Structure 1
Amino acid sequence: MAAVFLSLLDSQIVATALPRVVSDLGGLDRFAWVTTAYLIGGSAAAPVFGKLGDLFGRKRVFLASVTVFLAGSAICGLARTMDQLIAFRAVQGVGSGGLFICVLALLGEMFSPREGARYHGWFSLTFGAASLAGPALGGILTDLVGWRWVFYVNLPIGAVVLIVVSSMLRLPAQSTKARIDYAGIVLLVVAIVALNLLTGWVGTTYAWNSPMTIGLAAGSVLAVTLFVLSQRRAADPVIPLRLFGNRTFTIVVLLGFVAGLVGPGLINYLVLWFQTVLGLDVRTSGYLLTAMMLSVVLASWASTKVIGRTGSYRWFPVLSMALFAVAALLFRTAGPRTGLALTTGYVLLLGTAAGLNSQALSLAARNTADRRDIGAVQGTATLVRQLGTGMVSRPSAP
């Protein structure tokens, strides 16, 4: 959970320091890429690290991902230009995506789905702690010791994680001979980067009929097609296509994409809506977002408690999608005359919908996997969910 906290905290803490970063390094026209590079790196790394854990052992790959994250944090703090910071954030994002998916796979290997539900509940609490502490901690560190310490703060926590996990975690030895799908990894990374750039730029930075948009669309289709073909022939594919022969896994992946699209993706626009449509001030908007994040955490935590006691998770995604639909209809009717009380209710409903599926879908995906495929299953489900979020929330500035 300390490693998960690092991954989640970093996405929150850096945003607060960005104005000071721009003031020091310049590059106002590229500052959005500080976040974008981190998100793209994490998206591309998740399925790759998940599969590497299946092949080489989850402890070894987890330690490697934490090391990459800490190395990325260190060089981010040393960056002298905006371009350097963007490149180093991509490295840090790769480590973040790896350690996050490795923790999910580790829990999947150590515990049954029902028993693991209790530990997935800690994900919810960790997410809430990072979301609430990140902005405040980022501001404090930036004011007291400078923006570079929003990256350096990861180093002592990460060092403790490395020492404790390397000395105390015991897992069965891997007996399978590893065969790395290099072609699949390269094609997957190319496809993810192209899709993220396409969804972030089309209609904003570049017109729908611009050469850049057409080129990215064609490149995305080509990369995805070649990736699928490569997975059919690879001895140990990054994303085994046989996984989609399980109907539950396919449904989980599709629901994860929709949940990412209408949950975290739309949440990014709420502050703008609060202030421009409802006319709320910055402080009130912050309170509403905090309330919503608390509802996400509480709903997710409560769902894992129920799953741990009953062993059943199938109704939580259904209820989540129903609440998403109701929340969308309510927001559709909202306007400048909507009172603060009703707005708060709508926001809490949206947060509850997001929280009910976050851990339930992960547990459902785990339940479809053999031990040899836990990493690939969790990596694929996480990747598709992040792609859904990225389609509506990716910053557009090149």
Structure 2
Amino acid sequence: MSSPTTGSAGLEGTAPQAPETKVKSVIVACMLAVFLAMLDAQIVATALPRIVADLGGLDVFAWVTTAYIISSSVTTPVYGKLGDLFGRKKVFLIAIALFLLGSAASGAAQSMEQLILFRVVQGIGAGGLFVSVLAIIGEMFSPREGAKYFNLFGIVFAAAAVSGPAIGGVLTDLISWHWVFLINLPIGLVVFGMISTSLHLPPKKRQAHIDYAGFATLSIAIVSLTLLASWGGVKYDWVSPQIFGLGGIALLAAVLFVAAERRAAEPVIPLHLFRDSTFTISVLVSLVAGVVFLGAVNFLALYVQVVTGASPTLSGVVLLPMMFGLVASSVVSGRIITQTGTYKWYPVLSMATGIGGAVLFSTMDTGTPRVVVIAYMLLFGIAAGLNMQVLTMAAQNTAPRDDIGAVHATVSFSRQLGSTLGISVFAALFYNRLTDELTKRLPAGALAGTDRNTLSSHEVLDKLPATVRDAVKEAYTHALSPVFLAAVPVLVLGLVIALRMKNLPLRSWDHGGGEAAPEHSPTAAEH
């Protein structure tokens, strides 16, 4: 039975109740861990130009980010399962240690090749941070009580997104780029210490059977798919042998993965979870949310800086309302869900509101007032926040407790995969359209001596004649509109899927026997 005062809800009935101070320490540590994981991508991106200037390796510098994304994506579902088998605390501490080791080594790197290698280590650790936090909260609290903690992630996400570029710029300019990695050490050590002393969960009593075949085939599928999405339409044509080869490898690995999971005693992703429609719908809607809310949103900064003429600093201010909307809707929806115990209509409303926001974005042009753009961003941020943690809660609500780590890992992985696919596909769509628009709108030789890849830079744009600069802005506007329009059918699909979700009440108790909450509860208000 849940105990709102002790915070020990969700544990075995025989488990000792943790003091409230210990629970607060665990929650604070978990929030700091999530902040570290989300901050990294933002803070490192700001320092990359200085890193390239110092270490060289311009031809491979993109792998500083790609290597991190691949290694964290591969390990996310693995950590979830390892936590189910060996215990959350032990696996979480290992993830933190690997993240800190990779951070320290990256900060000491003397070449681009070394940095890329150390970023792999850092990514392996990062893959276990977010999913471990979700699983720990899922095990400490009942789904209904945990709702009030899940909505805190919206605040953490926004804080990392807003502060990351500024922190990265300050550290790089005032100290050195090495500190964008080294700053993780003091925060990470605090997290490690707090988790070591404050987190107490019942020991795992299951016999561990490592699913090596599942780990290997899933890793190959993820790496191949990530490279396909990153390189398709950018480094190689979509119809090139390289892209077809990666697609074939990903498909074959996926088939072998499913076959391995059917035979495994302890599969990485238990296939029986997909018999639960709530889990399946949560995974699919998370994928859609990743594609749109984390994928398309990357192109808003281009519009703000290139088309409206905002400086990088001002563009961060213009993007703040979107983060405010995300935080507000995430917190408010989390509180209402805690009170009512039902969640279905939040992802539905998220998809519907997102459709409106994407359509409005597609209408923006060079004459759209900045205040109108800010209003559109606020609406889009509200849409993003409405699904941020709801889907994780929904999936957890009907899952057996023995599989809680795999549940959280799969939902998190689907959102992360969607983000990677969204960024890559939308980028290919944008750059192909931009090339055509620039060719159509600019006279021959207008950009002589100017690298088209640098047109988003204020320093480059300001040096161009006014007529050329205006033509470039028009080209960007017409290239960005298809990106936002392409998000609409994806969101429509997400809306259709979300509407099929059952409106089951969140459990206020623990299914200690490992049984999933019934999908057709007598008290469920199905709509």
Task: Give the match for residue 56 of structure 1.
Answer: 86
Whole-angstrom CA distance in 2 between matches of 1:204 and 1:287: 30
Specify the code of the residue in structure 1 equivalent to 2:204.
Q
Whole-angstrom CA distance in 2 between matches of 1:140 and 1:334: 32
Which structure has the bigger radius of gyration? 2
- The structure with the greater share of residues assigned to helix is 1
Report 1:268-307 matches (<5 A): 268-307=298-337
Match of 2:216 among 186, 192, 196: 186
TM norm structure 1: 0.96
Contact 1:278 1:335 in 2 (8 A): no
Task: Give the match for residue 164 of structure 2.
Answer: 134
How many angstroms does 1:101 deviate by?
0.3
Report whether the alignment pairs 1:364 with 2:398: no
SS in 2 for 1:28: coil
Report 1:155-174 matches (<5 A): 155-174=185-204
How many angstroms does 1:279 deviate by?
4.4
Task: Give the match for residue 388 of structure 1.
Answer: 418
Whole-angstrom CA distance in 2 between matches of 1:50 and 1:249: 15
Specify the code of the residue in structure 2 equivalent to 1:226.
L
Specify the code of the residue in structure 2 equivalent to 1:186.
A
Task: Give the match for residue 474 of structure 2.
Answer: none
- String of CA shifts for 1:330-367, please: whole Å, max 9, x gaps: 12222222221221111111111111101111111111
CA RMSD of aligned residues (A): 1.5
- String of CA shifts for 1:123-167, please: whole Å, max 9, x gaps: 122222222222222122222221111111111221121122112
Match of 1:92 among 111, 122, 127: 122
SS in 2 for 1:269: helix
- String of CA shifts for 1:295-332, please: whole Å, max 9, x gaps: 21222122111111211111110000001111121122
Whole-angstrom CA distance in 2 between matches of 1:171 and 1:291: 39
Report 1:237-386 matches (<5 A): 237-386=267-416
How many angstroms does 1:29 deviate by?
2.3
Task: Give the match for residue 134 of structure 2.
Answer: 104
Report whether the alignment pairs 1:230 with 2:270: no
Contact 2:295 2:422 in 1 (8 A): yes
Contact 2:290 2:422 in 1 (8 A): no
Whole-angstrom CA distance in 2 between matches of 1:300 and 1:31: 35
Whole-angstrom CA distance in 2 between matches of 1:281 and 1:174: 53
Specify the code of the residue in structure 2 equivalent to 1:349.
L
Task: Give the match for residue 201 of structure 1.
Answer: 231
Q: Identity across aligned pairs (percent)?
A: 55
Contact 1:128 1:293 in 2 (8 A): yes
How many angstroms does 1:387 deviate by?
1.0
Report 1:17-28 matches (<5 A): 17-28=47-58
Task: Give the match for residue 79 of structure 1.
Answer: 109
Contact 1:53 1:102 in 2 (8 A): yes
Specify the code of the residue in structure 2 equivalent to 1:233.
R
Whole-angstrom CA distance in 2 between matches of 1:291 and 1:205: 34
SS in 2 for 1:268: helix
Task: Give the match for residue 6 of structure 1.
Answer: 36
How many angstroms does 1:368 deviate by?
2.1
SS in 1 for 2:128: helix
How many angstroms does 1:76 deviate by?
0.7
Greater relative CO (CA pairs within 8 A, separation 6+)? 1
Task: Give the match for residue 461 of structure 2.
Answer: none
Contact 1:279 1:336 in 2 (8 A): no
Specify the code of the residue in structure 2 equivalent to 1:82.
M
Task: Give the match for residue 207 of structure 2.
Answer: 177
How many angstroms does 1:68 deviate by?
0.8
Whole-angstrom CA distance in 1 between matches of 2:412 and 2:322: 22
Listed as ranges, the gaps of 5+ residues in structure 1 are none
Whole-angstrom CA distance in 1 between matches of 2:174 and 2:306: 33
Whole-angstrom CA distance in 2 between matches of 1:329 and 1:2: 36
Task: Give the match for residue 144 of structure 2.
Answer: 114
Report whether the alignment pairs 1:123 with 2:153: yes
SS in 1 for 2:233: coil
How many angstroms does 1:250 deviate by?
0.6
